[in-house]
Amino acid sequence: MSTAIKDTQQMIEEVLSAYPEKAKKDRAKHLAANDPTGQCSTCQVKSNVKSRPGVMTVRGCAYAGAKGVVWGPVKDQITVSHGPIGCGQYSWWARRNYYNGQTGVNTFGTMHITTDFQEKDIVYGGDKGLDAALHELKELFPLAKGIGILSECPVGLIGDDIEAVSKKVAKEFSIPIVPVRCEGFRGVSQSLGHHIANDTIKDYVLGKGKVEKSTAYDVALIGDYNIGGDAWASRKMLEEMGLRVIAQWTGDASVNELGIAHKAKLNLIHCYRSMNYICRHMEEEYGIPWVEFNFFGPTKIYQSIRKIASYFDDKIKENAEKVIEKYKPIMDAVIEQYMPRLEGKKVMLYVGGLRPRHTIGAYEDLGMEVVAAGYEFGHNDDYKRTYPEMKEGAVIMDDATLYELEEFTRRLKPDMVGSGIKEKYSYHKMGVPFRQMHSWDYSGPYHGFDGFPVFARDMDMTVNSPTWDLIRRKRN
């Protein structure tokens, strides 16, 4: 075992010493020193299991995964937060899944629609109210292409039958009414919500859309939620390669696009964690191959473009090279501009299920090094994809707590941290440059050739803002 790994392991042990025995034993399985080769048996983290109570996990719930991530961005269906008032309020237009359309008329993305459960609904059940609510919605929004019913905790606990209500109302309306059993207590994180949402797309929408013609170059863009316009920047590149993007899942998606992805010749998946389920299904059911790709930063983009092109004929392969040729000077100019200010800077990342590994290349393009990375809701297959991307002895964290993040920061002294809104301001107080890597801190896009300049600019302003130097730190 190398010194780098040993040193990190010792640091992890020190951090863990603050926990009570039971929690310490559990948390020890979720923190590791990285071994890129996969040889070291103690360097693998355990994942996708329950968080310890009271430790301040960063994780959310199945509803957040199903409503906030997968179904919420679908623009022309109405997403009903079914249950008490809070869940829909807190997730209201917080993820910035951009879309085109007239809100409140033919699209509904920035609206918060809820059955607002009262005590009587808990006591007598909410099915009757739901049925009536669906009718009221249909009356007010005749152009809606579907209605999703996203269950909150009480719905599952009181034993409501939202499937029966959906079935009945779907017949009356002849649009999909999709019951999504994503109660927050199910599973251990957002992750199960993604899976449940994938399953409901499969059961209620997939295969039911219309597309007039098919070409040999039809692809579906899966697992891009168009945060700050990411999917649009990605689509632009795919179209320049000569591919025809027939469906975007689910950023700026329409119900019809969810219904026609099975007509693609290849499924392109960006966020593996949240949508691999549906790709596997389409592979089994329709024989559609799928390929993971990474559109963060030029190195990974070039690799990904070539990888995607390899599934198609020479025309697409040639186009891929032309696209790279066209954008490479621009990417080189971005690097030339920002690298001098960012080279050698250390980054710590703690995000959801994809970005801690997917953005490493983009940071490296700018000369930065990711010294610690962790997932809120990654699974074993995510970590397997992460180990080789990181240096030996880097810290790998699963379901980290506020305490751990703070302690690792103290010890690793990263030049910047990328994580979420709950972490952001504690880092501001610590005087550690910080960027929200869920919402791009209200910037973006970060995907694609149009995204990388924005990414580079944002990392530069994060690390090099003169405001950090104004903090009058206590002398120790």
Partner 1 sequence: MRVKDHNELFQEREYLEQFERKKEFENCPSDGEIQRIAEWTKTEEYKEKNFARQNIKINPAKACQPLGAIFCAAGFEGTMPFVQGAQGCVAYFRSHLNRHFKEPMVAVSTSMTEDAAVFGGLNNMLEGLENAYTLYHPKMLAVSTTCMAEVIGDDLNAYIRTAREKGLIPKELPVPFAHTPSFVGSYINGYDNMMKGILSSITSGKKGEPNEKINIIHGFDTYTGNYRELKRLLAIMDIKYTILADVSDIFDSPNTGEYKLYPGGTPLADAMVSINSAATIVLQKYSTVKTMDYIQKEWSQQVLVLPPIGVKNTDAFFDEVSKITGKPIPQEIEDERGRAVDAMIDSHPYIHGKRFALVGDPDHLLGLISFLMEMGGIPVHIVCTNGDKKFEEEMNSLLSESPFGAEGKVYVGKDMWHLRSLMFTDPVDLLIGNSYAKFLWRDTGTPLIRIGFPLFDRHHLHRYPIIGYQGVLNLVNWVVNTILDELDRKTINTTSFDVIR
The set of catalytic residues is 61, 64, 95, 194
* 8 A C-beta contact, residue 405 and residue 376: no
Selected binder of partner 1 within 94, 175, 266, 291 (CB under 8 A)? 94
Asked if 118 interacts with partner 1 (CB under 8 A), we say yes
Strands 266-269 and 290-292: parallel
Asked if 378 interacts with partner 1 (CB under 8 A), we say no
Selected binder of partner 1 within 248, 267, 276, 304 (CB under 8 A)? 248
**What would the x/- binding string for partner 1 be over residues 192 to 211, using CB under 8 A?**
-----------------xxx
In this complex, which beta carbon is closest to partner 1, that of residue 1 or of residue 333?
333
Minimum distance of partner 1 from residue 292's CB (angstroms):
23
In this complex, which beta carbon is closest to partner 1, that of residue 35 or of residue 404?
404
> With contacts defined by CB under 8 A, how many residues of the chain interact with partner 1?
127
CA distance 95 to 422: 14
Calculate the CA 419 to chain-centre distance: 12
Selected binder of partner 1 within 142, 287, 344, 466 (CB under 8 A)? 142
Any bridge partners for residue 244, and if so which?
Answer: 218
Minimum distance of partner 1 from residue 466's CB (angstroms):
14
Which residues in the 267-326 window bind partner 1 by CB under 8 A? none
**What would the x/- binding string for partner 1 be over residues 150 to 189, using CB under 8 A?**
--xxx-xxx-------------------------xxxxx-
In this complex, which beta carbon is closest to partner 1, that of residue 137 or of residue 197?
137
CA distance 246 to 296: 22
Asked if 85 interacts with partner 1 (CB under 8 A), we say yes
Residue 398, helix vs strand vs coil: strand
Asked if 247 interacts with partner 1 (CB under 8 A), we say yes
**Number of neighbours of residue 391 by Cβ within 10 angstroms:** 12
Residue with tokens 């409503």: 67
| DSSP result, 50-97 | PPPTTS-B----HHIIIIIIIITT-TTEEEEEESSSHHHHHTTT-S-B
In this complex, which beta carbon is closest to partner 1, that of residue 90 or of residue 163?
90
In this complex, which beta carbon is closest to partner 1, that of residue 232 or of residue 290?
232
**Residue 136, phi then psi, degrees to nearest 5:** -65, -40
Binding segment (CB under 8 A) for partner 1, from list 168-176, 230-238, 297-305, 365-373: 230-238
| DSSP result, 189-231 | SHHHHHHHHHHHHHHHTTT----S---TTEEEEEEE--BTTHH
Asked if 412 interacts with partner 1 (CB under 8 A), we say no
Which residues in the 36-55 window bind partner 1 by CB under 8 A? 50-55
Minimum distance of partner 1 from residue 394's CB (angstroms):
23
**What would the x/- binding string for partner 1 be over residues 435 to 454, using CB under 8 A?**
--------xxx----x--xx
CA distance 262 to 178: 19
Q: Where are the alpha helices (DSSP H) in 312-401?
A: 314-342, 355-358, 360-365, 380-386
Asked if 115 interacts with partner 1 (CB under 8 A), we say yes
**Residue 473, phi then psi, degrees to nearest 5:** -75, 145
Asked if 374 interacts with partner 1 (CB under 8 A), we say no
